[in-house]
């Protein structure tokens, strides 16, 4: 048994800072007396940058707490980036957010480019078909799974990344954090923005956005479109093709009716089409005994037919200047039908998959947000109905213990929740926070399994090679399981914050998080399909400081945290069947700190820096790979101990009209692991990366010309991988980072 590191230096620092905070705020409370003036009334979620008076670092207004607040006055661990800042560094996909947020790891994951995994503070989800530990929201709409979930980033207002459990402010409860994408809403301003760019590896991108009134002061509309493509970064001599290419089209349309001064109705439609090749992995075992990170030898031909989209209706009603009611109704769906891929990267037939995923969900959220005297409050009711089905033809190297299989699973989920949070301004400096969430989660699961042990059903030919897709027609005798379960959760939040001066805020909080249990759609044994995995629970302790100095030319934000996890969900080997199964680690913990600084010593130079330390360990995880094995004391996947970023941007003092900027973004992270076992074979080495950008904007700010270099040193290092060795054959592959890319873009705004 591994004892919890409850007295580690980070934990001790957290306790000392929290004690100091309480010791200082109590006397301050006694001295202040009285009540704070009423907080501002809730306003629409429009958040431009606000320049500090007298110059200095521009502040960002966020809506993470369902009302407009300045980033530096929001007492939670939160990072926010404007759309302009994201565009400057050619961040065209959510994967490019890696390195911007301290403690956020974005490994290349999923079988298509539009599927992405996220890890915050050492916690995430390694399998995109299960509920994410980090929720994604696009304009208040929850995205339930990571498959095909990457949104179109054209005309993005900003991205907000909330670290730690989120349950008392948002519709869906998550155990590690939330990422919010806020796009522009149409209004009376006529906007037109187009851009196009080309680069190495056959890269081509174009985006377009148009917005404006259809009826002045009454009806508005907008349309955004994006196309992104590049050639394959990897060569596959087995099929004589370049693979790991990109080919994605996305579109979003909004129609907004300002029915009255207090009633706002908006309909949003979006769609995405992904025809990129699926992931082709780099195998460790390559012909000739050498190793080239740009080679894959997988034998299946590329096949990817992925589509997603949805509709959302948002109705906002203001009742005076103290209360706002909001309803968000959304229906979304995606399909990957079919997708074929190879799990080993070798020319030999070892692990081949041919899958069909279908998903649709309906979400309904009602919010009541506002203020009452010294009280700001957020409350809501949330409902989710989801139907997720998978049909996976899985072929592994034949053995009696692991025959070829066709697994068909269907999960129906109904989730109900009521949540609320109140911030009471005891004085104009001291605020107390109390939140509570109650969740009911029900799941019905149907599972069928067909394999070569069943009469009349074969998914391999006479030579033992896979038939893709399976052509079996007689499946009446298949194994079948039906299961259901319901879970209940009550998760609170308590916090206190103190605004010492307009430029210094301290806060401390305690909260609980919950991630629902479920059933394993990937089960390779019938008994595993019948056993649910349990909910994941976390208790989080956090203290932090947000500060600005030197007439707002230096910004320093620090957060310290400790997360205590129970029944942490993981994918490992079932000791009873010796097959991969979704199960729970008994306990785990993560602890660390996150530091963000911005320095603007003089006009024209901005220097962003961040650092994070994460200690993420399984405390108790016995028998994770069979009787007698133990992962207790192992590090959690994709949790580097240290991450660093430095990113200076300089406006050149040129004696010409317009503005020219150059910037560097350098990132470093220490070693981490890609699996529960901490296998050295697929350890992710320490790595650094440098990106460059240059931009010129004309004097009228309409034309922009930019150049970006990503991965300047052209270092192709492992970002993930898998290793397994058995009688069925060794599988050992890597997911490699992209090579150096150079990209040129021209944009026009009206």
From the CB of residue 615, how many other CB atoms can be counted at a distance below 10 Å? 19
Q: Which range (147-161, 189-203, 230-244, 696-710) has the least confidence?
A: 147-161
**Is residue 90 very low, low, confident or very high in pLDDT (cuts 50, 70, 90)?**
low
Would the pLDDT of 492 be above 90?
yes
DSSP 8-state symbol, 466: B
d(CA 472, CA 717): 41
* 407 or 171: which leads in pLDDT: 171
Looking at the chain, the whole-number percentage of residues with pLDDT higher than 90 is 59
Would the pLDDT of 635 be above 70?
yes
Which pLDDT does position 34 carry in this prediction? 37
Which pLDDT does position 655 carry in this prediction? 87
Q: pLDDT digits over 290-311, tens only?
A: 899 999 999 888 889 999 999 9
Would the pLDDT of 440 be above 80?
yes
List of long-range contacts for 541-544, beta carbons under 8 Å, 24+ apart: 541/14, 541/18, 541/509, 541/510, 542/14, 542/77, 542/164, 542/508, 542/509, 542/510, 542/511, 543/14, 543/17, 543/18, 543/21, 543/506, 543/507, 543/508, 543/509, 544/75, 544/77, 544/506, 544/507, 544/508
Residue 300 main-chain phi, psi, to 5 deg: -70, 145
**Is residue 4 very low, low, confident or very high in pLDDT (cuts 50, 70, 90)?**
very low
**Is residue 167 very low, low, confident or very high in pLDDT (cuts 50, 70, 90)?**
confident
Average pLDDT value for residue range 244-258: 95
> Assign residue 311 a region: left if phi > 0, alpha if psi is -120 to 50, beta otherwise?
beta
d(CA 93, CA 153): 7
Which pLDDT does position 413 carry in this prediction? 96
d(CA 627, CA 21): 47
> How far is Cα of residue 567 from the mean position of the Cα atoms in its chain?
21
> Across 40-107, where does the E strand assignment appear?
49-50, 59-62, 69-70, 78-82, 104-105
* 491 or 482: which leads in pLDDT: 491
DSSP H or E run through 606: strand 605-620
| C-alpha closest to that of 259 among 310, 211, 318 | 318
Structural tokens at position 185: 């809403």
CB 662 within 8 A of CB 649: yes
Q: Which range (168-177, 253-262, 267-276, 531-540) has the least confidence?
A: 168-177
From the CB of residue 256, how many other CB atoms can be counted at a distance below 10 Å? 21
> Following CA atoms 90, 96, 99, 104 in sequence, which dihedral angle do they give, to the nearest 10 degrees?
150
Cα end-to-end span (Å), the chain: 64
d(CA 246, CA 738): 12
d(CA 586, CA 511): 20
pTM of the predicted model as reported, rounded to 2 decimal places = 0.87
Which pLDDT does position 50 carry in this prediction? 38
Q: How is 405-436 classified by DSSP, letter by letter?
A: EEEEEEEEEEEEEEEEEEEEESSSSEEEEEEE
* 407 or 468: which leads in pLDDT: 407
From the CB of residue 257, how many other CB atoms can be counted at a distance below 10 Å? 17
d(CA 298, CA 301): 8
Residue 30 main-chain phi, psi, to 5 deg: -65, -35
> Assign residue 217 a region: left if phi > 0, alpha if psi is -120 to 50, beta otherwise?
left
**Is residue 470 very low, low, confident or very high in pLDDT (cuts 50, 70, 90)?**
very low
Average pLDDT value for residue range 472-481: 52
Q: CA dist 303 to 95, 342, 521, 596, 721, Å?
A: 22, 11, 22, 42, 21
DSSP 8-state symbol, 139: T
CB 229 within 8 A of CB 202: yes
* 252 or 8: which leads in pLDDT: 252
d(CA 230, CA 113): 12
CB 728 within 8 A of CB 400: no
Residue 1 buriedness (CB in 10 A; 0-12 / 13-18 / 19+): exposed
> Across 275-302, where does the E strand assignment appear?
282-283
Q: pLDDT digits over 702-726, tens only?
A: 999 999 999 999 999 888 888 887 6
d(CA 731, CA 282): 11
Which pLDDT does position 475 carry in this prediction? 46
> Following CA atoms 166, 167, 173, 174 in sequence, which dihedral angle do they give, to the nearest 10 degrees?
20
CB 421 within 8 A of CB 494: no
Average pLDDT value for residue range 381-386: 97
User: Residue 42 half-sphere exposure, CB side, CA atoms within 13 Å?
Assistant: 28
| C-alpha closest to that of 570 among 175, 280, 282 | 175
> Assign residue 130 a region: left if phi > 0, alpha if psi is -120 to 50, beta otherwise?
beta
* 614 or 481: which leads in pLDDT: 614
d(CA 299, CA 394): 15
Which pLDDT does position 580 carry in this prediction? 75
Would the pLDDT of 525 be above 80?
no
Looking at the chain, the whole-number percentage of residues with pLDDT higher than 70 is 85
Which pLDDT does position 728 carry in this prediction? 52
Highest mean pLDDT among 61-75, 261-275, 334-348: 261-275
Which pLDDT does position 85 carry in this prediction? 78
d(CA 189, CA 178): 31
Three-state DSSP class for 528?
helix
Q: pLDDT digits over 540-566, tens only?
A: 999 999 999 999 999 999 999 999 999
Please name the residue that has the structure tokens 């009280």: 375
**Is residue 156 very low, low, confident or very high in pLDDT (cuts 50, 70, 90)?**
confident
| C-alpha closest to that of 708 among 200, 103, 39, 113 | 200
Q: pLDDT digits over 41-57, tens only?
A: 333 343 334 333 346 88
d(CA 338, CA 545): 49
**Is residue 403 very low, low, confident or very high in pLDDT (cuts 50, 70, 90)?**
low
Residue 59 main-chain phi, psi, to 5 deg: -85, 155
Average pLDDT value for residue range 97-113: 81
Provide CB contacts within 8 A for 152, sequence distance 6+: 224, 226, 250, 251, 252, 270, 272
d(CA 332, CA 589): 34
Which pLDDT does position 337 carry in this prediction? 83
Average pLDDT value for residue range 232-255: 95
List of long-range contacts for 198-201, beta carbons under 8 Å, 24+ apart: 198/743, 198/744, 199/230, 199/708, 199/741, 199/742, 199/743, 199/744, 200/740, 200/741, 200/742, 200/743, 201/230, 201/231, 201/232, 201/233, 201/739, 201/741
Average pLDDT value for residue range 369-397: 89
| C-alpha closest to that of 72 among 49, 90, 94, 88 | 49
d(CA 746, CA 33): 57
Q: CA dist 711 to 143, 348, 691, Å?
A: 30, 32, 6
d(CA 70, CA 548): 12
User: Residue 157 half-sphere exposure, CB side, CA atoms within 13 Å?
Assistant: 19
Would the pLDDT of 516 be above 60?
yes
Q: Which range (345-354, 373-382, 439-448, 665-674) has the least confidence?
A: 345-354
CB 314 within 8 A of CB 140: yes
CB 232 within 8 A of CB 242: yes
* 497 or 344: which leads in pLDDT: 497
> How far is Cα of residue 544 from the mean position of the Cα atoms in its chain?
23
**Is residue 481 very low, low, confident or very high in pLDDT (cuts 50, 70, 90)?**
confident
Would the pLDDT of 476 be above 70?
no
| C-alpha closest to that of 162 among 75, 46, 49, 88 | 75
């Amino acid at each position: 048994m591994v004892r919890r590191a409850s007295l580690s230096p980070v934990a001790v620092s957290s306790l000392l800072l929290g004690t100091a905070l309480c010791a200082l705020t109590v006397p301050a409370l006694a001295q202040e007396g009285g009540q704070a003036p009423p907080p501002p009334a809730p306003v629409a979620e429009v958040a431009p940058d606000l320049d500090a008076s007298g110059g200095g670092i521009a502040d960002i207004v966020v809506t993470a707490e369902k009302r407009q607040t300045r980033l530096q006055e929001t007492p939670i661990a939160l990072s926010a980036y404007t759309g302009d800042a994201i565009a400057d560094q050619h961040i065209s996909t959510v994967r490019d957010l890696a390195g911007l947020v301290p403690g956020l790891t974005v490994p290349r994951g999923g079988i298509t480019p539009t599927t992405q995994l996220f890890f915050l503070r050492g916690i995430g989800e390694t399998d995109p078909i299960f509920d994410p530990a980090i929720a994604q929201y696009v304009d208040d709409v929850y995205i339930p799974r990571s498959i095909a979930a990457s949104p179109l980033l054209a005309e993005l207002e900003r991205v907000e990344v909330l670290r730690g459990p989120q349950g008392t402010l948002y519709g869906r409860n998550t155990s590690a954090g939330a990422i919010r994408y806020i796009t522009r809403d149409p209004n009376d301003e006529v906007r037109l923005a187009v851009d196009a760019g080309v680069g190495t590896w056959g890269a081509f991108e174009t985006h377009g956005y148009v917005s404006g009134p259809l009826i002045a002061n009454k009806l508005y509309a907008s349309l955004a479109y994006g196309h992104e493509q590049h050639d394959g970064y990897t060569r596959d001599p087995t099929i004589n093709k370049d693979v790991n290419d990109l080919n994605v089209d996305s579109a979003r349309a909004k129609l907004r009716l300002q029915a009255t001064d207090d009633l706002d109705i908006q309909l949003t439609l979006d769609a995405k089409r992904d025809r990129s090749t699926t992931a082709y992995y780099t195998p460790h075992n390559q012909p000739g005994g050498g190793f080239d990170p740009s080679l894959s030898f997988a034998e299946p031909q590329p096949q990817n037919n992925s589509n997603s989209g949805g509709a959302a209706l948002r109705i906002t009603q203001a009742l005076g200047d103290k209360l706002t009611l909001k309803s968000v109704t959304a229906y979304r769906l995606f399909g990957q039908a079919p997708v074929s891929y190879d799990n080993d990267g070798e020319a030999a037939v070892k692990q081949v998959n041919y899958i069909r995923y279908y998903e649709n969900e309906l979400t309904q959220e009602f919010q009541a947000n506002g203020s009452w005297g010294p009280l700001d409050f957020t409350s809501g009711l949330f409902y989710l109905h989801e139907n997720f089905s998978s049909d996976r033809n899985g072929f592994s190297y034949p053995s009696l213990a692991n025959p070829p299989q066709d697994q068909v699973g269907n999960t129906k989920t109904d989730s109900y929740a009521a949540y609320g949070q109140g911030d009471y301004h005891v004085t104009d400096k001291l605020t107390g926070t109390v939140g509570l969430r109650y969740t009911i989660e029900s799941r019905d699961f149907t599972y069928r399994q067909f394999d070569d042990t069943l009469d009349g059903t074969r998914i391999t030919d006479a030579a033992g090679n896979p038939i893709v897709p399976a052509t079996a027609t007689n499946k009446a005798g298949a194994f079948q399981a039906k299961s259901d379960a319901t879970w209940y959760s009550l998760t609170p939040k308590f916090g206190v914050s103190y605004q010492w001066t307009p430029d210094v805020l301290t806060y401390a909080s305690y909260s609980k998080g919950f991630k629902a249990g479920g059933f394993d759609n990937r089960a390779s044994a019938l008994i595993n399909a019948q056993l649910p995995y349990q909910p994941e629970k976390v208790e989080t302790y956090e203290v932090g400081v947000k500060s600005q100095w030197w007439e707002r030319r230096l910004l320093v934000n620090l957060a310290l945290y400790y997360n205590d996890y129970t029944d942490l969900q993981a994918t490992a080997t079932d000791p009873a069947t010796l097959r991969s199964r979704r199960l729970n680690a008994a306990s785990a913990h993560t602890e660390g700190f996150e530091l963000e600084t911005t320095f603007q010593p003089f006009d024209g130079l901005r220097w962003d820096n961040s650092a994070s330390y994460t200690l993420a360990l399984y405390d108790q995880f016995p028998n994770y790979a069979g009787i007698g094995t133990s992962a207790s004391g192992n590090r959690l996947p994709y949790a580097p101990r240290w991450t660093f970023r430095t990113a200076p941007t300089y406006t050149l003092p040129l004696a010409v009209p317009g503005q020219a900027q150059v910037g560097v973004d350098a990132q470093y992270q220490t070693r981490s692991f890609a699996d529960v076992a901490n296998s050295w074979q697929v350890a992710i080495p320490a790595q650094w990366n440098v990106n460059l950008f240059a931009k010129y904007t004309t004097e009228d700010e309409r034309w922009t010309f930019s150049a970006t270099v990503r991965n300047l040193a052209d270092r192709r290092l492992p970002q993930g991988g898998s290793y397994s060795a058995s009688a069925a054959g060794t599988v050992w592959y890597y997911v490699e980072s992209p090579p150096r890319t150079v990209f040129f873009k021209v944009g026009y705004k009206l």
